[in-house]
Amino acid sequence: MSVAFTPMETRLPLDPMLPQPAVIQAIQPEAAGISTFTLKFSDPAEAAAYRFQPGQFNMLYLPGFGEVAISLSSDPNEPGRLGHTIRYAGSVTRAIGRLKVGDVIGVRGPYGSAWPMEAGLGKNLVLVAGGIGLAPLRPVILAVLRERQAFQRVVLLYGARTPADLLYTAEFASWQEHGIEVHPTVDIGNESWRGLVGVVPQLFYRIRVDAKQTLVLTCGPEIMMRFVIYEALARRIAKDSIFVSMERNMKCAVGFCGHCQFGPSFICKQGPVLKFSALEPFFGREDF
Amino acid sequence: MAESLPRVSARVLLPKASFQRVFDNLQAAGFTLLGPTVRDSAIVLEEITRVEELPLGWCDEQAPGKYRLEKKRGSRYFDYGVSSHSWKQFLFPPRRKLFSIEKHASQWTIKPNENGPGRRAFIGVRPCDLNAISIQDHVFVTGEFRDPHYSHAREQIFVLAVNCSRPSSNCFCTSMKTGPRATSGFDLALTELPEHFVVEIGSEAGSEIMRDTGWQLATAFDLGRAAQVTEQAEERIDREVRTDDLPQVLYDNLEHPRWDEVATRCLSCTNCTLVCPTCFCSTVEDSCDLRATVSERTRVWDSCFTLDFSRVHGGNNRPSIRARYRQWLTHKLASWIDQFGFSGCVGCGRCITWCPVGIDLTEELQAIRTKATP
């Protein structure tokens, strides 16, 4: 089984682990402990060449602290301005949280698979998000807004722990004006909350869709996505019409470090967006 | 002698008295030699310059959790199974600086680590280890992304393979179809006879190194004796793994009680992944000066047996040893095939030898197979 090795030039090729400096253009607070950082590459050529698709992610690097995989949450039609909605959860993201406009972050990417925008043309899209899981779906919404007529019904089922944890609420009205149905829910309400209280998968009971003409795109805690899949399957939506964005520990994003493996898939390469049919034997399995 | 250099794919006879000449030719061509030698009662891979440094007359005894060396009378340089080290450490070093960054206000100067190890000759590569190198090539070189550190080191090596004569009791290359005879991927491949080597020329570079060594074309008799060496080696291997249905057997038994049982023995010490010649997982470390002006990124070996390996915010995806052992074994023998088209195991047996509690993956696979759950 030994395979011949093809020699190459002896100079070191460019290391895919090398970050490119990018400057923070804006920091938009979204919720408690969550902000959207808009970045622009320092190198104009890099900024001009960069493109991404909804669902892809970048590796953001702070020298001395480390690197984190963060989904792009901005408009793919404006690839010169890279939005990353970041929750301050670990040592690197907390350090990013202390940065100011004008500071520099290392960026490399984009990596990973994308949401099935082409397969969704002419179909209904049901976007199901929990918490920060809305961030990688926002580029889908922004792409839909630009070509609203290219899709049938577009529905967002979205939940967070409390009303204060809901992201992008200021944009909901504009999304709705463009014919996107937005159904928010929270786990715990407060005095001013007049919306729904309950878990995200329950929101399926508020919509009716033609299973054959519908794609489900979901991102959130795995336990949420498990029940989202149950609800979708119960409505006879096909396993390969359900798309799941997965999260795993990730050190390299290029298939070298091995950390993000989920069965046969490298979440950095075949993922993060995977068809449920590809995940099924392993999804929801304890400690996998 | 009809010609001064043997042709590629020719098989020639080299007197052992001329073996140092091969070493000299390699060094004259600018290669640093890395090869087996005895240190701390084990055969390790280190820089050598002379044939006397090879483990002449040393035999190893390997069993689950056991490794012993014994000096026997004899004139064989390569009379052992596999070295304790694999070649992985030279192409994918345990620590490798990736780059440094110097920050001055908003100006970053990024300096990639472009230091390469130079030309190196691997002396005495076993066929299983040769396959392991080819497997790591697929991880680091031939995929969508290419690792420059590995590629750079890889393209500068000269491979002198040695076919096996005395496999250890932990060897199972015959099951994994990686040995005991090297079929490709080498510059020279030796089969050791009492007074001679039969040398197969694998490349132009290999042919060149045979210059002035006193080689002659091997006779049918020599070739017969060389064939006997590897045939006998093959007969001595009694450890066996059935591989034809292996991915499915593992995927069908992800909740097998054996995973719980092996977890009571496994210490999660990471030894198996470190000695494995194909395990490629790594992590990165950042360090910086006190003013955080200059920082460095270093890639270091990691293991799926550590708790940190699968940690994400809010928890760990594989908190139990059961989950981590299952990940290692199913990756090595099942999902590796999905990812790369071949198994990640070459049957070298190091993980069995160097497991401090003697866990034997061939035994684990058999247990999972024979008491398969529906």
Residue B109 located in a structural domain: no
- What is the pTM assigned to this prediction? 0.94
Give the CATH number, domain containing residue A187: 3.40.50.80
CA distance B351 to B276: 6
Which of B182, B211, B236 is the last residue before a domain boundary? B236
Check A89 against B323: CB less than 8 A apart. no
Same domain, B251 and B205: no
Instruction: Answer whether residue A185 is part of any domain.
Output: yes
Residue type, A138: R
In this structure, chain A runs to a length of 288
Partners of residue A251 in chain B, C-beta under 8 Å: 282-284, 302
Does B310 lie in the same domain as B187?
A: no
Both B254 and B366 in one domain: the answer is yes
Q: Do B148 and A1 touch (CB under 8 A)?
A: no
DSSP assignment of B123-156: EEE-HHHHHHHHHHHHHHTSSSS--HHHHHHHTT
Residues B122 and B262 in one domain: no
Distance between CA atoms of residues B242 and B15, nearest Å: 40
Touching check for A23 and chain B: CB below 8 Å?
yes
Name the residue facing A256 among B131, B177, B282 (closest C-beta). B282
A130 and A225, same domain (yes or no): yes
Of the listed ranges A162-171, A227-236, A238-247, B3-12, the least confidently predicted one is B3-12
Q: Are residues B182 and B39 in the same domain?
A: yes
Determine the average pLDDT of the residues in A89-113. Answer: 96
Inside any domain, residue A209: yes
- Strand locations in chain B, DSSP E? 11-15, 32-39, 42-48, 58-63, 66-71, 95-104, 107-112, 120-125, 157-162, 188-192, 196-201, 216-217, 282-288, 294-301, 311-312, 315-316
- What's the gap in Å between the CA of A249 and the closest CA on chain B? 5
One domain for residues A104 and A129? no
Contact criterion met (CB below 8 Å) for B274 and B301: yes
Q: Is the dihedral of CA A261, B300, B353, B239 positive or negative?
A: positive
For B21-71, what is each residue's pLDDT tens digit? 999 999 999 999 999 999 999 999 999 999 999 999 999 999 999 999 999
Answer yes or no: do A105 and A134 share one domain.
no
Angle between helices B361-370 and B321-330 (to 10 degrees): 90
At residue A13, does pLDDT exceed 70? no
Number of structural domains (chain A) is: 2
Going by pLDDT thresholds of 50, 70 and 90, the confidence category of residue B106 is confident
CB A110 within 8 A of CB A39: no
Residue B373 pLDDT class (50, 70, 90 cuts) = low
Same domain, B83 and B217: yes
CA distance B353 to B265: 15
Write out the residue range of the structural domain in which residue B329 sits. 246-282+303-370
Q: What is the pLDDT of residue A2?
A: 37
Does A285 map to a domain? no
Residue A271 lies in a domain: no
Same domain, B142 and B228: yes
Secondary structure, 3-state, B66-113: EEEEEECCCCCCCCCCCCCCCCHHHHCCCEEEEEEEEEECCEEEEEEC
For A58, the enclosing helix (H) or strand (E) is strand A57-62
Q: Please tell me whether residues A133 and A80 are part of one structural domain.
A: no
Helices assigned H by DSSP within chain A:
44-49, 91-97, 138-146, 169-177, 222-234, 276-279
Question: Is the Cβ pair A258, B282 closer than 8 Å?
Answer: yes
Question: Which structural domain, as residue segments, surrounds residue A130?
Answer: 124-245
Model pLDDT for residues A234-276, shown as the tens digit of each residue: 999 999 999 999 999 999 999 999 999 999 999 999 999 999 9
Angstrom CA distances, A107 to A28, B126, B174, stand at 19, 42, 46
Handedness of CA B97, B98, B99, B100 (dihedral sign): negative
Question: If you measure CA to CA, which chain A residue comes closest to B286?
Answer: A64
Give me the pLDDT at residue B372, please.
56
Pick the last residue of a domain from B236, B260, B294: B236
The residue-averaged pLDDT of B119-146 equals 96
Residues A136 and A59 in one domain: no
Least confident of A171-175, B106-110, B317-321: B106-110
Does A94 lie at the interface with B, CB-CB under 8 angstroms?
A: no
Task: Please determine, for the modelled complex, whether the ipTM score is greater than 0.95.
Answer: no
Which pLDDT score, from 0 to 100, does residue A3 have? 39
Q: Are B60 and B121 in a shared domain?
A: yes
Q: Domain check: are B47 and B193 in the same one?
A: yes
Instruction: Compute the average pLDDT of residues A190-211.
Output: 95
Q: Which token pair is B17?
A: 């008295």
Residue B74 pLDDT = 83
Helix (H, G, I), strand (E, B) or coil at A271: coil
Pair (B252, B278) in one structural domain:
yes
Average pLDDT over residues B64-83: 94
Mean pLDDT, all residues of chain B: 95
CATH number at residue A65: 2.40.30.10
The Cα of A173 is separated from the nearest Cα of chain B by a number of Å equal to 32
- The tally of domains found in chain B comes to 2
> Residues B130, B216: one domain?
yes
pLDDT number for residue B292 = 84
Decide if A227 is inside a domain.
Answer: yes
Is the CB of A12 less than 8 angstroms away from the CB of B116? yes
